[in-house]
Structure 1
Amino acid sequence: MTAEGDENYLTTAEVARRLQVKPETIYAYVSRGLLTSTRARGRRGSLFSATEVERLASRSVDHSGVVERIESQLTLLKDDELYYRGHSARFLATNWTVEQVATLLWIGQTPQPSTVGAVGAAARTRAVFGVEREGVQLARAAMEVAPEGARLTDRLRVAVAVLGAADPLRFDLSAPSVTAAAGRLIGTLVSALPGDYVDPAATLGARLWPKLSDQAPRPEVLDAALILLADHGLAVSTVAARVAASARANLYAVISAGLGALDGQYHGAAPTLAYEFLRRARQDPLKALSDRLRSGEPIPGFGHRIYQQRDPRADVLLRLLGDHPIVGTVAAIAERTPTFPNSDLAIAAIMHAYDFRPDAGDALFALARMIGWTAHALEEYAAPALRFRAMGIYTGQTT
């Protein structure tokens, strides 16, 4: 591209002064599509549109490096409430299907009312979270490669990688292809997990229930949990997924990136830690709390870095448990702490109430968050590629 005149263009040095960055950062902006480099006839060096430079200067960009703030239309956390595209997640969790919420997050389509479990809702669930027999067989075979005793999340990671390798169209990053692949992936993973088979026309929670518990199913509880855990803004696993999507990694690779970050002890493992704490608390809540306080460690499943007075997700899930004794255990602990139960403790309470397998919480979290990672990947695919690159500062030895 060639600049016809110089009056509306700036040199690299002028741009660097305007944005207060080094010249190398300007070239990084060009590679990420944030600035366009042009040439002037008879002059050496690059020129940049003054209008484009001013537009970049006004954006919420940290010019000390090359990492942007991430703008998103998906999730809002405000005043101890959680919203998906402007809809209360608490309301969605008890009035809409997982399919409808996934559609809302993925393409922004406002869900229409329906009764969970009705014929129409089941048909839509099947359409979004569909399964293919060959895919289920492949995923199940991949999961069985994991050693005995492997966690469900370990099996999920292996299956995602294998299903991605088997999808010849995985590099089609158009929105229809990505949403179709995401629905098929999630539906296939649920069907492939060890446990009894459930008709794919059932709700996702109903299909997941026998994979986690032998007790009489309460699919509405899992449906609500899947909705409430689907997204939570820019959690570390979501940032990892968006960075992968920025590099134009395919959906399976994006999900794998999210699963990798989710495996950290400070993120995806939180439900398991809450489960273990609640297991001790069921016998003696006061002793379990006392032992934890004595250790000086935070109380698993209580408090939150974002919420100040309550976690709306925990409110919904604990209410669904009704008068189950485990709710009394949670209340007994909460009465003696200055904090409040969070979603990790609510998931742990569900696990104890219905005798879920001990690693169920992490798997539930992972499957739910795949819905959100897909939504964030779709946003990232529509943004300039490779727009995340931190400015490294070398602190090693120099020659």
Structure 2
Amino acid sequence: MTNSEQKDLLVFERRESAVRSYCRAFPKMFDRAVNATIYGADDKEYIDFLAGCASLNYGHNDPDMKQALIDFISRDGIAHGLDMHTNAKRDFLETFHSRILAPRNMDYRTMFTGPTGANAVEAALKLARKVTGRTNVISFTNGFHGMTLGALATTGNAGKRGGAGTELSGVHRAPFDGYFGDNVDTAEQLDILLSDSSAGIDAPAAILVEAVQGEGGLNVASKEWMQKMQAIAKKHGALFIVDDIQAGCGRTGTFFSFEEMDIEPDIITMAKSLSGMGLPFAVTLFKPELDIWKPGEHNGTFRGNNHAFITAKVAIEKFWSDDTFQAEIKEKSEFLEQRLQSIADKYGFSLKGRGMMKGIDCGSGEAAADICEHAFENGVIVETSGSDDEIVKILAPLTIEKETFAKGLDIIETAFDCTLVDKNQRSAAE
């Protein structure tokens, strides 16, 4: 790092809160980005395997979204509209229905909740409790649903929960699919507990689950397990909520992560890549009969982000009007799996995840962190995941060029080789 860069970064050290995190792992001044490549202020190139934590599934600065947004701003289009009627919101709603919901035979109301996924989760929890008249929510081990108090209560990570500063209640934690190994049916366990009035678990308002646990370690729920969970929710009078904030918008291969599971959630939360361009945008989808909100009962100042409506509409039209993009995701997912499986086999590690959210379990957070640091030093931005940050997690843009993807994975493989060989040599010397 040059003296000039060090001086620039001191501004953040002096002026920004200590809560900052990603910049500590990637100490670099970044300036611009195109698709899957980020450029430092010194023009050094970095391949982006983080993609804004899956907020940039369509890459950085997609030209069509960028032009649509420039045109909208140039004609003085309304940027901030609360929840008032605007052309931009109407066009998004119609496009989302005609291109996403209707082709999948999905009938849902769309609620604009505010800028973050946590807002969408908060709205989902409030609605479930309002509809059922119950307070308890079932969430799962290693689940992550946001950092606001309600969403944080449903999150499993002790480190995240520890920052709450208050009691986090109203939630019962159940074991996720495979938590005790392949031979233990955790869905059956939950059903038995909920069926026993003396088990000590209050009747739930909702069961909240991710099909793939993004932050929790890329744990994948099976189709059969998700179907059982939906049936359990119905049997016990609870609403079935799927958090599709990180796994949605094509990340697992289909627009919704649960599309091939033959389930029909009562409520779905979405954010991250929904705007198409990394703009703040979140929604809660729910079946029409659940729409018992009173006007203004849940709101947010920035729920009417018209800039996000503009880019989201373009993203849907460009990438989801036919099956072409989905086929491209499948091809890249298979390539990613092949490359990561080869690395995992070399070191006796395991492959985690599904679609274009995959990673390698390195067995320890220290090893994973060292690998990510080596990758960054050589031009790849990649993060960790899991209870102990033991997973090297690949979240490349779905639009990444094949050559760039291969180059980035070459750097990842070299990072594994150099880091683990060096570590083994040090251990042998000791």
Q: Give the alignment's TM-score, normalised by structure 1.
A: 0.25
| Greater RCO structure (CA 8 Å; 6+ sep) | 2
More helix by share: 1
TM-score, normalised via structure 2 length: 0.23
Q: Which structure has more strand as a fraction of its residues?
A: 2
Computing the radius of gyration over CA atoms, which structure comes out larger, 1 or 2? Answer: 1
